Chains A and B, each alone.
Chain A
Amino acid sequence: MLNPQLNRHGELTHLITTEGLSRKILTHILDTANTFVPLAERDVKKVPLLRGKSVFNLFFENSTRTRTTFEIAATRLSADVFNLNINASSASKGETLLDTIANLAAMQADIFVVRHEASGAPFLIARHVAPHIHVVNAGDGRHAHPTQALLDMYTIRHFKKDFTNLRVAVVGDILHSRVARSNIHALTTLGVPEVRAIAPLTLLPSGLEQMGVRVFTDMREGLKDVDVIIMLRLQNERMRGALLPSAHEYFKHYGLTQEKLALAKPDVIVMHPGPMNRGVEIDSAVADGPHAVILDQVNFGIAVRMAVMTIVAGASA
């Protein structure tokens, strides 16, 4: 099946999921992000690459942090940015997703950055926009959050250099996590030999092994000799949904404490997509400790998003 993220020249024209993207394309995004990282140190943090282009942030699901980083990234590329909080507008009046998109496309949009609660929504949008419009997925349902995965990969490459001899553990609510899925696809594509998932059975989706993952329900076993730990956020609703009894018990067995951290390699790095629930999935001492690279992730996030928007905008129509 033709990958809808690529145009007929094989160039990335939409970024919807890390799944199905070659190592070459993923690496190209990381390398491009490299050139944008130093800009943060300059006084003038802008480059004129996307001057005259319009980036529409369509957030059907609320998120100030992700939307803000996309806004910063687009602004640093000199694009015009328009934020649409769809909750407050037409969709709640019954306008369909495709009608909303059609109206916005008529306003000369070049890039749609979309966050939606329904898995697959960006594919639907990409199928219906004109060839010169590019879709960047800022998170769809449980399916994918590719820019988060890419900035996570950038972070890992920055600290560890070589993907091909790492053990990476993803810990937490994998079942509901689009970040986990996107990370797993990226890690396996980039050649990480061992990807581990650590969670209670209620939070593990079926068929995880088929994605190339080793599953652990015992966190102490799972963290042994690990080089990278990616912690996932635990949402409160999970307690109400008969998936977990309490945050207290979760923290005891699946929370990252210094004691559990000691089981990993001495130079292990700890990552978290944010926002963190201190005392639920991660101990404050670890979150603020020397192994945590969470703030670096945020910095890299802007450069990675700049790279993604530059690459898709540069694809031939």
Chain B
Amino acid sequence: MKLHIKGARVIDPSQGLDQVTDVWVAGGRIAAIGHTDKPFEAERIVEAKGLVVMPGLVDLAARLREPGFEHRATLESEMRAALAGGVTSLVLPPDTDPVLDEPGLVEMLKHRARQLNQVNLYPLGAMTVGLKGATLTEMAELTEAGCVGFAQADHPVTDTNVLLRAMQYARSFGYTLWLRAQDAWLAKNGVAASGAYASRLGLSGVPVQAETIALQTLFELQRSVGVSLHICRISSAAGVNLVRQAKLEGLQVTCDVSMNNVHLTDVDIGFYDSNYRLDPPLRGQRDRDAIRAGLLDGTIDAICSDHSPVDDDGKQVPFAEAEVGATGLELLLSLTLKWAEQERVPLVDALARVTDGPANVLTHSMSAIPPCGRLVVGAPADLCLVNIDHYWLVDQHTLLSQSQHTPFIGTELPGRVCMTIVRGRIAWEQGL
């Protein structure tokens, strides 16, 4: 469709662009920004005065629960949720059921996603068979089937020898490993961050050393091998520091953080609210501050939603027995805007963490994918229109995800998406 979006505030962090101007879309691509050379007959004109036009969000971690966990969510419901949140590209962790360790499964998933023709789906392949941390998967086959990198989701490899071999193998092909920094032994049975609050609540704690020891192991192995690493869901101040030092040293490392850790701390668990049962656990005030500082200085490349829908049965149980996870695709943009508002971060810098930043991580991991997260002429037209001044209440009526379980339920957040365009097609639209 030939689209002319008029008079919006166009923000593209990849170019440092933030100005009121027009955007033209044709043939699934960005045809022009600012002015057109040739006359343009738009099939639809969108009057976008007062709205922000930005690249569609790139979410580096969203579980859509297919295959295997359809009682919690389905591709249809969750992709709709993604569009409502302005997300046009998302990365899937491999912990589906069955695990994404076979090319056939990946192909089926990609096929299904193409049929739905909603957002761009980028699956991560399992680094080891069944995520069991023993045998390597056929990484080349999986890449051919469409995987953009290799991961262990929340199942850290305890055998350091296997970890070393996986790094060496991935390095041979130039693949990136997307890994959580979590020491399995220290984190065992922990359901909340170690500290005064977990002690008060009588909950088993995950000490911060579970993250720092794992990071140091990963970096030390990486030094000898030279593989590319993406650290998933950093959670502590000490962890952010280690990543900062690694980058300064010149190691090929990128890093993301869950939007939940950007906003919440352990005391927010309150009286055992299982909506706050998350992995990594929410840490303290100082950790949250360090995460925010890390986002500003680029130590942390991206904020992701860590979208993990859980149904009522999974949450209406005592805290320690609850399933980890929270719904989040629809909240990623709003929470990024809220952070920007609280810390007075210029929009173009804040939005970089959900567009340009994650896009760079993604294309570094898999150069063959089409460019995303930027509004450059010629790039695929993945973008969204947002009313950043509109506050909305997060509740059962506004959430589209099949899961209503999020720590932010009942809160008012800024920023409502009016339109989401994927590959030049209007995939989502709502009046405000």
For window 180-235 of A, CB contacts with B under 8 Å fall at 181, 205-208, 210-211
CB-nearest residue of chain B relative to A19? Answer: B200
B194/A123 in contact, CB under 8 A: no
CB-nearest residue of chain A relative to B320? Answer: A118
For window 119-135 of A, CB contacts with B under 8 Å fall at 119-121, 123-124, 128
List A contacts of B196 (CB < 8 A).
Answer: 206-207, 210-211
Give, as a whole number of angstroms, the nearest-CB distance from B275 to chain A: 12
List B contacts of A97 (CB < 8 A).
Answer: 317-318
Is the C-beta of A314 less than 8 angstroms from some C-beta in chain B?
Answer: no
Give, as a whole number of angstroms, the nearest-CB distance from A161 to chain B: 29
Give, as a whole number of angstroms, the nearest-CB distance from A202 to chain B: 13
List B contacts of A98 (CB < 8 A).
Answer: 316-317
Give, as a whole number of angstroms, the nearest-CB distance from A180 to chain B: 10
List B contacts of A120 (CB < 8 A).
Answer: 201-203, 271-272, 318-320
Is the C-beta of A76 less than 8 angstroms from some C-beta in chain B?
Answer: no
Is the C-beta of B70 less than 8 angstroms from some C-beta in chain A?
Answer: no
List A contacts of B321 (CB < 8 A).
Answer: 118
List B contacts of A124 (CB < 8 A).
Answer: 272, 316-319
A123 to B318, CA, bound (A): 9
Is the C-beta of B205 less than 8 angstroms from some C-beta in chain A?
Answer: yes
Is the C-beta of B15 less than 8 angstroms from some C-beta in chain A?
Answer: no
A128 to B315, CA, bound (A): 13
Is the C-beta of B226 less than 8 angstroms from some C-beta in chain A?
Answer: no
Q: Assuming A206-B195, A206-B199, A211-B200, is B320 touching A119 (CB within 8 A)? A: yes
A141/B195 in contact, CB under 8 A: no
Q: Assuming A205-B199, A206-B205, is B270 touching A119 (CB within 8 A)? A: no
Is the C-beta of A1 less than 8 angstroms from some C-beta in chain B?
Answer: yes
B200/A4 in contact, CB under 8 A: no
Give, as a whole number of angstroms, the nearest-CB distance from A149 to chain B: 13
List A contacts of B297 (CB < 8 A).
Answer: none
Is the C-beta of B197 less than 8 angstroms from some C-beta in chain A?
Answer: yes
Q: Assuming A141-B202, A181-B202, is B197 touching A207 (CB within 8 A)? A: yes
Give, as a whole number of angstroms, the nearest-CB distance from A236 to chain B: 19
Q: List 24 A-B contacts (CB under 8 A).
A: A1-B271, A4-B271, A19-B200, A97-B317, A98-B317, A116-B318, A118-B321, A119-B201, A119-B203, A120-B319, A120-B320, A123-B272, A124-B316, A140-B202, A141-B203, A142-B202, A143-B203, A144-B202, A181-B199, A181-B202, A206-B194, A207-B195, A207-B196, A211-B199
List A contacts of B272 (CB < 8 A).
Answer: 119-120, 123-124
Apart from A118-B319, A142-B202, list 10 A-B contacts with CB within 8 A.
A96-B317, A124-B272, A124-B319, A128-B316, A141-B202, A141-B318, A205-B199, A206-B198, A207-B196, A211-B199
Is the C-beta of A178 less than 8 angstroms from some C-beta in chain B?
Answer: yes
A96 to B323, CA, bound (A): 14
Could you list which residues of chain A lie within 8 angstroms of chain B, going by C-beta atoms?
A: 1, 4, 19, 96-98, 116, 118-121, 123-124, 128, 140-144, 178, 181, 205-208, 210-211
List A contacts of B319 (CB < 8 A).
Answer: 118-120, 124
Is the C-beta of B313 less than 8 angstroms from some C-beta in chain A?
Answer: yes
A123/B271 in contact, CB under 8 A: yes
B318/A119 in contact, CB under 8 A: yes
- Contact indicator per residue, chain B 235-274, by CB within 8 Å of chain A (1) or not (0): 0000000000000000000000000000000000011100
List A contacts of B318 (CB < 8 A).
Answer: 97, 116, 118-121, 124, 141
A128 to B274, CA, bound (A): 14
Give, as a whole number of angstroms, the nearest-CB distance from A91 to chain B: 11
Q: Which 8 A-B pairs have the closest CB atoms?
A: A207-B196, A120-B272, A143-B202, A142-B202, A118-B318, A205-B199, A119-B202, A210-B196
List A contacts of B313 (CB < 8 A).
Answer: 96
CB-nearest residue of chain B relative to A144? Answer: B202
List B contacts of A141 (CB < 8 A).
Answer: 202-203, 318, 320
A122 to B239, CA, bound (A): 35
- Considering residues B198, B202, B316, B318, which has the most beta carbons from chain A within 10 angstroms of its beta carbon? B202
List A contacts of B197 (CB < 8 A).
Answer: 207
List B contacts of A211 (CB < 8 A).
Answer: 196, 199-200
CB-nearest residue of chain B relative to A1? Answer: B270
List B contacts of A205 (CB < 8 A).
Answer: 199
B201/A208 in contact, CB under 8 A: no
- Contact indicator per residue, chain B 288-330, by CB within 8 Å of chain A (1) or not (0): 0000000000000000000000000100111111000000000
Give, as a whole number of angstroms, the nearest-CB distance from B272 to chain A: 3
Give, as a whole number of angstroms, the nearest-CB distance from B211 to chain A: 16
List A contacts of B316 (CB < 8 A).
Answer: 96, 98, 124, 128
- Contact indicator per residue, chain B 175-195, by CB within 8 Å of chain A (1) or not (0): 000000000000000000011
Give, as a whole number of angstroms, the nearest-CB distance from B229 to chain A: 30
- Considering residues A96, A124, A142, which has the most beta carbons from chain B within 10 angstroms of its beta carbon? A124
A208 to B196, CA, bound (A): 7
Give, as a whole number of angstroms, the nearest-CB distance from B105 to chain A: 30
List B contacts of A144 (CB < 8 A).
Answer: 202
List A contacts of B199 (CB < 8 A).
Answer: 181, 205-208, 211
Give, as a whole number of angstroms, the nearest-CB distance from A137 to chain B: 12
A123 to B201, CA, bound (A): 11
Give, as a whole number of angstroms, the nearest-CB distance from A61 to chain B: 12
CB-nearest residue of chain B relative to A142? Answer: B202
CB-nearest residue of chain B relative to A125? Answer: B318
List A contacts of B203 (CB < 8 A).
Answer: 119-120, 141-143
Give, as a whole number of angstroms, the nearest-CB distance from A141 to chain B: 5
A4 to B272, CA, bound (A): 11
CB-nearest residue of chain A relative to B197? Answer: A207
Give, as a whole number of angstroms, the nearest-CB distance from B241 to chain A: 20
A121 to B319, CA, bound (A): 8
Give, as a whole number of angstroms, the nearest-CB distance from B154 to chain A: 21
A181/B200 in contact, CB under 8 A: yes
A119 to B199, CA, bound (A): 11
A118 to B318, CA, bound (A): 6
Give, as a whole number of angstroms, the nearest-CB distance from A304 to chain B: 21
Q: Assuming A120-B319, A124-B318, is B195 touching A143 (CB within 8 A)? A: no
Give, as a whole number of angstroms, the nearest-CB distance from B330 to chain A: 25
- Contact indicator per residue, chain B 130-170, by CB within 8 Å of chain A (1) or not (0): 00000000000000000000000000000000000000000
A100 to B316, CA, bound (A): 13
A118 to B233, CA, bound (A): 27
A206 to B198, CA, bound (A): 9
- Considering residues A96, A116, A178, which has the most beta carbons from chain B within 10 angstroms of its beta carbon? A96
Give, as a whole number of angstroms, the nearest-CB distance from B18 to chain A: 39
